[in-house]
Amino acid sequence: MENEITNARNSFMSELQGAKDAESLESIRVKYLGRKGMMAGFMGKLALADKEKKPALGKELNKLKLYIQEEINRKKDEFLADRDLESEKTDITMPGFFRESGRLHPLTGVLNEINDIFISLGFQIAEGPEIEKEFYNFEALNIPLEHPSRDAFDTFYIKGNTLLRSHTSTVQIRIMEKKKPPIQVIMPGRVYRPDAVDASHSFMFHQVEGLMVDKGIRFTDLKGILNLFTKRMFGEKTMTRFRPSFFPFTEPSAEVDISCIICNGKGCRVCSHSGWLEILGAGMVNPRVFEMVGYSPRKFTGFAFGMGVERITMLKYGIDDIRLFFENDIRFLKQF
Amino acid sequence: MKVSYSWLKSYVDVNIDPRKLAHLLTMAGINVASCDNIEGEYVFELEITANRSDCLSILGVAREAAAILGKKLSMPRELRIGVPAPRKSGKPCFRVTVKEPDLCPRYTARIIRNLEVKSSPEWLKERILSAGLRPVNNIVDITNFVLLETGQPMHAFDFDRIKGGITVRQALKNEKIITIDNTTRTCEDNTLVIADEMGPIAIAGIMGGLETEVSGMTKNILLESAFFDSISVRRTSRVLGIGSESSYRFERRIDNGMVLKASNRASALISELAGGTAGDIIDIGDKTPYSKSIDFNPHVSDSLLGVSIGKSKAVSILKSLGFSVKNKKDSVKVTVPSFRQDVKNAIDLTEEIARIYGYEKIPVTIPPIIGATKIQDFTGILRGTIREALTRLGLYEIITYSLVNKDSVKDFGIYPESLVVIKNPLSIDQEIMRPTLMPGMLGVISHNMNRKAKGLSLFEAGKIYREDKDNYIEEETLSIALTGVMAENWKGRKEDFDFFHLKGIFEELLNEFAPSCEVIFKKENMPVLKKGTSTGIICGNERVGYLGEVCEPILKKFGIEKKVFYGELCMDRLCDKLSIEKNYTPYTRYPSVTRDVSLILGRDITSYEITKIIKETGGELVKGLSLIDFYKGKQIPDGKHGLLYRIEYRSDEKTLEDEEVERIHTLIKETLRKKLNVSFR
């Protein structure tokens, strides 16, 4: 019987080789594994074999059966794969099909990013009205009437002392009027200035204002927060530089530059060959602002900062004309 | 302001690379915007902040440089503190009257006789040129030189052309003067002028008159050095639309301590370069310079900055900037020099110390998080989530100006009284604040269609504005528009956007964010929309928005040829109905059975009526209902159309038997037939 088994294996191997299609394979399967096939026959014979030979023969038979099964399956898969290729010559280079989804405006995208960074640093988000009283835009922020420091804050007026806010610093006052420290908040929003429109000026743009007030808030904290922000926004290698400056509502005040993200600080057209880009205004809240909202400047200190969303977005994406944001050309919108 | 390195060097012994000095000045708050080498001479272009009027002078900048470098400042003799004015040598020979002491707190004048007006020496011309001015003659150049050197504006009149004495007064309405730029100026009645008996000979602090200009023929001059009120000069300069080196400095407030000294300095230079005899000084008005004494605690200052600069370093910085300091027990008493009128409080001194010490040397710390746990209010989160959802639905976000042309909302049916009007727009496109997002949206569609866009699906989430009896209302609003080709690809057919695509977006949005609210779309009649599709969106009994096809006249106004489907939602009104909370509802294991019902009905019967009956009749067991087909054509009688609904029946308690489904399905059909008079196919 051992010889028969070996012969069966050999004949199976050659028949398998000769199988041309799924059909002939099936007949091979029936011949060997079928209910009346060769293996079934062997099993019948096994019952009649010598008692001591039985276990070894049984083992042999099982091995063969397994082998045949595996080989047939393998061949079957081959045929299936071949048939797919044969019957459907799919041109997989044809374009894929999908339902196009839209995109957020780049300003929204960048604003979301700014918000998320500050949220992760513990800031809350607050908003205030765009149509404001003169008081909130100027006096409360220590910007006196008819002072040259107002030149930077030319304003659209509506009626009487109602105007369109020219900066989001107005919201600082509204928040401090409502709430006692601790305060840790950012205030995004639209602002308006009657500037003639060109590639770098717009009469409407977006700002994000920040304010942190508590006992013992220091200038070093301001530096720390803004350092973290610029690194997260523009990349780990970004350097931050604080330059003394002037804003009526902060003292000491600083202009914050980052190392040019275009040339890495080597100097290029974008940074006017200085290696630095002005990105933020900041400072410690002027005690006179605290007095305006009824906080004791002896008790509380704090910092404030403000940045332009358009400017940051332009730098981030290499956009060279601010008007593109408001033109909303679909070829522009699709890129973000 | 332009400052040449060599001029700066004449007051302070700087011997470092000019570019290095530029950097140091910038990092101390005197921003050097550029440092150019012009024919061997380095010239700094400075951007002086509005508070630092003292640095609108070469001396002021030199003082900063000296403080930064730890050097001494050397002043010309006439400008040094304690140098007395030249002794008076007799009674005044000329009459000066100041009628407006508030607008002109101090006025000095000096007559210099028998001088020779000629071209300036080379060194003076170079100085004038380096500041970007044009040399004229020795007298004019000296007044400009002293202005640049000290920041004190000066003016020289041709004395012989002045008729009688002079008066500093407000102009009469429509009084005229020809200024030295050869332009006739018409004064307002609050314009401050210097006038002789014939009329104005100078606009105070801004520009002199042509009539009394110093020329080659001039023999005697009247040298004016005065203090004009900053607000008055600023107003006049704005009203008349003229600015000058003088007005720029007056607007930022000059140093009263310099008025006389600068006059002495100019006199000395004139006698050196033009000869002549200087007469007595006429000095009218307030002679007290700005002075302020501040108690300053270096310890408090250090703790605000978060760095230990220490008392002695702080004191030495203040002294180097011209402050005088007296030691007290814990604090110091600081006297502010007259040229630093911007310094009023201890905090201002902290800034002085910090900027000279160097912001860069101040370390970095991270404050503890003190913010509350609630990060953003509900509306903010919602706005973000809805924006994301809309992009998933295939819409691109746009952002348009909140100021629009008044004409763009004509015929929109908006009350003119509710418009928020801008008093001082720069163009007609900024006349009003948008009362709807529609003009912005249509503008964007028009822009893109003109540039060959085939189809657009856009949204904007922004505010609209209105006035309600002096209350200004800003409402968060969402607009959505679809136009042109929706899809054109090899897999499907070309399809244009229509009303139902837009409606679907609104349905999906409300379904996702207001699942518990019943939403009804109701026919209405908005003037901006076509009658057939003008639809109001009612959510929880409140009208929260509208949609429809934009009517022809409006499209025409924006130059759009394709159909536009437009809708708005008032987010503020929707807000309390929306939710971003999600709840899991367990679903049953029992299978569902679907049955179709094909109806033929008159056009006056609405889908809303049909679905309402199906749901009411089927009750709990109707778990799903969708419109599968809509058809018109040969098989359907005229004036009617066919609708095919698919109903999904399921029970939460058991497997439905066929008979039971059949019974309900038949009941539904019977009810439809009876109530709506429909037939079946």
Whether residue A218 is found in the same domain as residue A134: yes
Mutate to test the interface with B, among A131, A227, A330, A336 (most CBs of B within 10 A): A330
Q: Which amino acid is at A105?
A: H
Element (H, E) at B660: helix B658-676
Nearest CA in chain A to B351: A252
Measuring CA to CA, which residue among A145, A136, A192, A143 is closest to residue A164?
Answer: A192
Mutate to test the interface with B, among A131, A179, A204, A247 (most CBs of B within 10 A): A131
Residues 6+ apart with CB under 8 A from B87: none
In a domain? residue A92? no
What tokens does B431 get? 């006349």
In a domain? residue A328? yes
Q: Is the pLDDT of residue A10 over 80?
A: yes
Whether residue A178 is found in the same domain as residue A250: yes
Q: Which amino acid is at B210?
A: L
Whether residue A225 is found in the same domain as residue A314: yes
The CATH label, of 3.40.630.10, 3.40.1280.10, 3.30.930.10, 3.40.50.720, for the domain at B378-577 is: 3.30.930.10
Distance CA B681, CA B672 (A): 13
Q: Is the pLDDT of residue B668 over 80?
A: yes
In a domain? residue A229? yes
Q: Which amino acid is at A190?
A: R
Residue B384 has a pLDDT of: 85
CB contact under 8 A, B304 and A301: yes
Q: What percent of chain B has pLDDT over 90?
A: 78
Q: Is the pLDDT of residue A89 over 80?
A: no
Residue B292, beta-bridge partner list? B336
Q: Is the pLDDT of residue B574 over 60?
A: yes
Measuring CA to CA, which residue among B82, B105, B396 is closest to residue B233?
Answer: B105
Cβ contacts (< 8 Å) between B377 and chain A: which residues?
A: 125-126
Mutate to test the interface with A, among B375, B431, B450, B475 (most CBs of A within 10 A): B375
Cis (ω within 30 of 0) for the bond into B553? no
Nearest CA in chain B to A329: B448
Residues 6+ apart with CB under 8 A from B582: none
Cβ contacts (< 8 Å) between A125 and chain B: which residues?
A: 375-377, 380
CB contact under 8 A, B345 and A287: yes
Distance CA B408, CA B433 (A): 11
Residue B89 has a pLDDT of: 57
Residue A9 has a pLDDT of: 86
Cβ contacts (< 8 Å) between B426 and chain A: which residues?
A: 194-196, 203
Distance CA B524, CA B140 (A): 76
pLDDT, chain B, mean: 92
CB contact under 8 A, A223 and B26: no
Cβ contacts (< 8 Å) between A243 and chain B: which residues?
A: 26-27, 29, 31, 359
User: Distances in Å between the alpha carbon of A97 and those of A94, A249, B332, B392?
Assistant: 9, 56, 77, 16
Residue A25 has a pLDDT of: 85
> Closest Cα of chain B to A81: distance in Å?
26
Whether residue A139 is found in the same domain as residue A186: yes
Whether residue A159 is found in the same domain as residue A295: yes
Question: Least CB-CB distance to B421: which of A158, A224, A326?
Answer: A158
The angle that helices B298-305 and B346-357 make with each other, rounded to 10 degrees, is 60
Cβ contacts (< 8 Å) between B306 and chain A: which residues?
A: 218-221
What string of DSSP letters covers B19-39? HHHHHHHHHTT-EEEEEEEET
Residue B85's pLDDT band (boundaries 50, 70, 90)? low
- Give me the architecture of the B2-74 domain, per CATH: 2-Layer Sandwich (3.30)
Segments in chain A forming alpha helices (H):
2-18, 22-33, 38-48, 54-87, 106-120, 134-137, 169-178, 219-234, 287-292, 309-317, 324-327, 330-333
Domain-ending residue, one of A33, A56, A87: A87
Question: Least CB-CB distance to B360: which of A99, A242, A288?
Answer: A242
Distance CA B456, CA B448 (A): 8
Q: Is the pLDDT of residue B129 over 80?
A: yes
> Closest Cα of chain A to B94: distance in Å?
35
CB contact under 8 A, B402 and A162: no
Helices (H) and strands (E) in chain A, counts: 12, 10
Whether residue A21 is found in the same domain as residue A157: no
Q: Is the pLDDT of residue B153 over 80?
A: yes
Q: Is the pLDDT of residue A152 over 80?
A: no
Q: Is the pLDDT of residue A148 over 70?
A: no
pLDDT, chain A, mean: 90
Residue A86's pLDDT band (boundaries 50, 70, 90)? low
| CATH code assigned at A271 | 3.30.930.10
Nearest CA in chain A to B463: A130
Domain definitions of chain B by residue range? 2-74, 96-285, 292-359, 378-577, 593-680
Distance CA B195, CA B327 (A): 50
CB A201 within 8 A of CB A195: yes
Q: Is the pLDDT of residue B351 over 60?
A: yes
User: Distances in Å between the alpha carbon of A205 and those of A166, A197, B115, B679?
Assistant: 9, 11, 57, 60
What string of DSSP letters covers B207-245? EEBSTT---TT---EEEEEEE--HHHHHHHHHHHT---H
Residues 6+ apart with CB under 8 A from A99: B394
Mutate to test the interface with A, among B303, B304, B475, B478 (most CBs of A within 10 A): B304
In a domain? residue A100? no
Distance CA B285, CA B226 (A): 10
Q: What percent of chain B has pLDDT over 70?
A: 97
User: How many domains does one find in chain A?
Assistant: 2
Whether residue A31 is found in the same domain as residue A158: no
For the beta carbon of residue B503, count every other beta carbon within 10 angstroms: 18
Taking domain B593-680, whether its CATH number is 1.10.3760.10 is answered by no
Residue B280 has a pLDDT of: 87
What is the residue whose two structure tokens read 């929260």? B544
Cβ contacts (< 8 Å) between A224 and chain B: which residues?
A: 364-367
In a domain? residue A282? yes
Cis (ω within 30 of 0) for the bond into A252? yes
The fold of the B292-359 domain, in CATH, is: Phenylalanyl-tRNA Synthetase; Chain B, domain 1 (3.30.56)
Three-class DSSP category at B303: helix
Three-class DSSP category at B251: helix
CB B110 within 8 A of CB B260: no
What tokens does B657 get? 């038997």
Residue A53 has a pLDDT of: 82
Nearest CA in chain B to A131: B472
Most confident of A265-274, B374-383, B449-458: B449-458
Dihedral of alpha carbons B554, B557, B562, B568, sign: negative
What tokens does A319 get? 């956009």
CB contact under 8 A, A216 and B303: yes
Cβ contacts (< 8 Å) between B396 and chain A: which residues?
A: 102-103, 105, 330, 333-334
Distance CA B479, CA B548 (A): 12
| Mean pLDDT for the stretch of residues B291-299 | 95
Q: What is the pLDDT of residues A109-124, one digit of tens each?
A: 999 999 999 999 989 9
Residue B373 has a pLDDT of: 61
Whether residue A35 is found in the same domain as residue A118: no
Q: Is the pLDDT of residue B557 over 80?
A: yes
CB contact under 8 A, B474 and A254: no
Whether residue A168 is found in the same domain as residue A208: yes
Whether residue A203 is found in the same domain as residue A324: yes
What string of DSSP letters covers B270-292? HHHHT--EEEEEEEEE--PPP-E
DSSP 8-state code for residue B103: T
Q: What is the pLDDT of residues B451-508, one digit of tens each?
A: 999 999 999 999 999 999 889 999 999 999 999 999 888 887 789 999 999 999 999 9
CB contact under 8 A, B359 and A122: no
Residue A266, exposed/middle/buried by CB under 10 A (0-12, 13-18, 19+)? Answer: exposed
CB contact under 8 A, A102 and B396: yes
What is the residue whose two structure tokens read 């019948």? A44
Q: What is the pLDDT of residues B623-663, one digit of tens each?
A: 999 999 998 888 788 888 999 999 999 998 889 999 999 99
Residue B627, beta-bridge partner list? B645
Whether residue A286 is found in the same domain as residue A177: yes
Residue B321 has a pLDDT of: 96
For the beta carbon of residue B142, count every other beta carbon within 10 angstroms: 25
| Mean pLDDT for the stretch of residues A29-56 | 84
Say whether B292-359 and B96-285 share the same fold: no
Distance CA A239, CA A282 (A): 16
Cβ contacts (< 8 Å) between B459 and chain A: which residues?
A: 102
CB contact under 8 A, B398 and A105: yes
Whether residue A62 is found in the same domain as residue A193: no
Q: Is the pLDDT of residue B270 over 90?
A: yes
Domain-ending residue, one of A57, A87, A117: A87
Looking at chain B, how many residues does it have? 681
| Mean pLDDT for the stretch of residues B582-598 | 87
Edge-first strand order for the sheet with B106-113 is B155-158, B221-227, B106-113, B277-285
Residue A75's pLDDT band (boundaries 50, 70, 90)? confident
Domain-ending residue, one of A55, A87, A119: A87
Question: Least CB-CB distance to B51: which of A246, A326, A330?
Answer: A246
Q: What is the pLDDT of residues A156-200, one digit of tens each?
A: 999 989 999 999 999 999 999 999 999 999 999 999 999 899 999
DSSP 8-state code for residue A201: B
Distance CA B294, CA B54 (A): 19
Number of A/B CB contacts below 8 angstroms equals: 237
In a domain? residue A98? no
Cβ contacts (< 8 Å) between A244 and chain B: which residues?
A: 27-29, 351, 354-355, 359
What tokens does A81 get? 């794969």
Cβ contacts (< 8 Å) between B370 and chain A: which residues?
A: 122, 182-184, 212, 214
CB contact under 8 A, A104 and B391: yes
- Give me the architecture of the B96-285 domain, per CATH: 3-Layer(bba) Sandwich (3.50)
Owning domain of residue A6: 2-87
SS3 assignment for B595-607: EEEEEEEECCCCH
Q: Is the pLDDT of residue A87 over 80?
A: no
Nearest CA in chain A to B344: A288
Residue B249 has a pLDDT of: 96
What tokens does B382 get? 């919602």
Measuring CA to CA, which residue among A66, A5, A76 is closest to residue A38?
Answer: A5
Residue B512 has a pLDDT of: 87
In a domain? residue A99? no
Edge-first strand order for the sheet with B679-680 is B622-631, B640-649, B593-602, B679-680
In a domain? residue A94? no
Residue B86 has a pLDDT of: 53
CB B31 within 8 A of CB B52: no
> Closest Cα of chain B to A159: distance in Å?
7
